[in-house]
Amino acid sequence: MNQTYPYPSKRSLTYGRAMALASNPSAAAAGRKILEAGGNAVDASVAMAAAQVVAEPTSNGLGSDLFAIVAMNDVLYGYNGSGKSPAAISLAAMKEKNCEAMPEFGIEAAGVPGAVRAWANIHKKHGRLPFKDVLAPAIEYAEKGFVLSPTVARLWAMELEKRRANQGALYDGFWAQFSFEEKAPEAGDVITFPDMARTLKSIAEDGGESFYEGAIAEKIDAFMKAHGGFMRKEDLAAQKTLEVEPLSLSFEGAEVWELPPNGQGISVLMALEILKHKPTIPDDEKSAHVIAEAIKRAMTDVAKYVADPEFMSLSSEDLLNPEYLKKCSDAIGEKAEIVHYGNPLDRSTVYFCAGDNEGNMVSMIQSNYDGFGAGIVVPETGISLNNRLLNFTFEEGHDNCLAGSKRPYHTIIPGFLTKEGKPYGAFGVMGGFMQPQGHVQTLLQLLRYGRNPQAALDAPRFMWTGDKDLVVEEDYNEKAVEELIRRGHRVIRPPHDLDMGRGQYMLYDRKRKIYVGGTEKRCDGTIAVADSFLYKPFAGK
């Protein structure tokens, strides 16, 4: 493993027999606690998922969706825990409300929550400890308090400011739960969520049955009816976690795995296939341009063609057509272009991962989409609903056009690596449409340039935001930035580092039976090591 650190770093590599990686220390501590209680990687990941809901509510909640790639006994499993749109919603129904696009906040933007059912389903198939024990750390945080970390405090203040205009009965629950005398809490504050604690206890006892088909579902239904929303208890009862076949691509000596649509992970594989034909080197002036153009082409096609698979006009195989992607590579010129989608036939999230002392690994991600999501909380439940329906288009005839009982195009994507068919690593870079761009840029660092996981995450990044616009971090190579401008890119400096992706990388050294981890410098990223000799004896379920 390359031990050099080519970029200014706040962190060193972390090694351990087992570990839990997350964007904040409370979640990582929950994962470690479960590992040390004899739990496996799935138990630890579900514990972190539940803890993130409490400790990082600015990015996810009980109303979230979830995706995961699980490696158990050297076999990969993919899970799609995204929720559908309510059956009653439609373009016509939205136009009756005088909406020409989906409102960013409010009752209309909320999709059916998928995360809670995914926790229960994935745990039932792969978990070792009792489900109630796995959720115990999150319940303790919600009931007795957790200490707020600095990045979440920053996000909290920004999110409340963005939602100041959201007032009235619909938003009362949100302000009651997430503001403290109309202000955001500060780093170091100890915070409790009593309503959330009660809901988490219910989920721990019955595996989410009340959430989807019982008393909690009734409360969500009543809240929606009271405020003119579309979601009903029947939509909740119909929610299913899909077991899906992950997609893969060989790249620079490893196999990169992403989940299939309705997620945007396929764009990572498309961009890497394009870059197979374009040699790049780190901190190089021309390479930055080539990488940006490859990402741009992949994401433009995916925005056009990716939707709920039942509604897609093209298949994953069509989008990964090597001949088409070679043409895309050949089409990259010397100047920045405004790219339109081709013909392949000719925004806020939490990512976390865990590895146990048996070599099992989980790559998991969940999100309310835009910060606190729709900005609404169901009374007495602590459930902050997502605003994932923002990812639908209102363009009639588009594969991703708004309709009832349909999964939207989805931004959240867990990643995974294998070598010679054996699980090698779990990774992810969270953050809306930055996610595939973060995957591509960190994978180039790791696989093509030979950087270690921490250096791959520390490397400065850019984000394509449309047309010829590139948001480029301040510490990006100065000559490369000058060259990007010369080639016609409009370079924009980010106002802060919170939108540039927040990632985790965990690789498995099979020979030594240890993990090597890197965590994000742009947030409160934490790696909690749980060595096997600390494990308590496991007595069985």
pLDDT by residue (tens digit) across 393-423?
999 999 999 999 999 999 899 999 999 999 9
- Closest listed residue to residue 227, CA positions, set 91, 406, 376, 60: 376
Q: Within 10 A of 167 (CB to CB), how many other CB atoms are there?
A: 10
Two structure tokens written together for 184: 């955001």
Residue 157: in which H helix or E strand, if any? Answer: helix 150-162
Q: Which residue has the higher pLDDT, 536 or 88?
A: 88
For residue 181, the model assigns a pLDDT of 87
Reply yes or no on whether the pLDDT at 271 is more than 60. yes
pLDDT by residue (tens digit) across 465-498?
999 999 999 999 999 999 999 999 999 998 877 7
Helix (H, G, I), strand (E, B) or coil at 316: helix
CA atoms within 13 A on the CB side of 102: 26
- Closest listed residue to residue 86, CA positions, set 241, 214, 225: 225
8 A C-beta contact, residue 212 and residue 239: yes
8 A C-beta contact, residue 178 and residue 189: no
- Cα 193 to Cα 1: distance, rounded to the nearest angstrom: 43
- Cα 59 to Cα 61: distance, rounded to the nearest angstrom: 7
Helix (H, G, I), strand (E, B) or coil at 18: coil
Average pLDDT, the chain: 93
8 A C-beta contact, residue 139 and residue 53: no
- Cα 436 to Cα 272: distance, rounded to the nearest angstrom: 10
What DSSP line would sit under 218-282, residue for residue? HHHHHHHHHTT----HHHHHT--PEEE--EEEEETTEEEEEPPTTBTTHHHHHHHHHHTTS---T
Residue 96: in which H helix or E strand, if any? Answer: helix 91-96
User: For the whole model, what pTM was predicted?
Assistant: 0.94
Q: At what angle do helices 322-330 and 266-275 cross, to 10 degrees?
A: 60
Model confidence at 6, in pLDDT bands (50, 70, 90)? low
In order of start, what are the domains of the chain with their CATH numbers? 22-240+371-390 (no CATH), 244-258+267-348+414-531 (3.60.20.40)
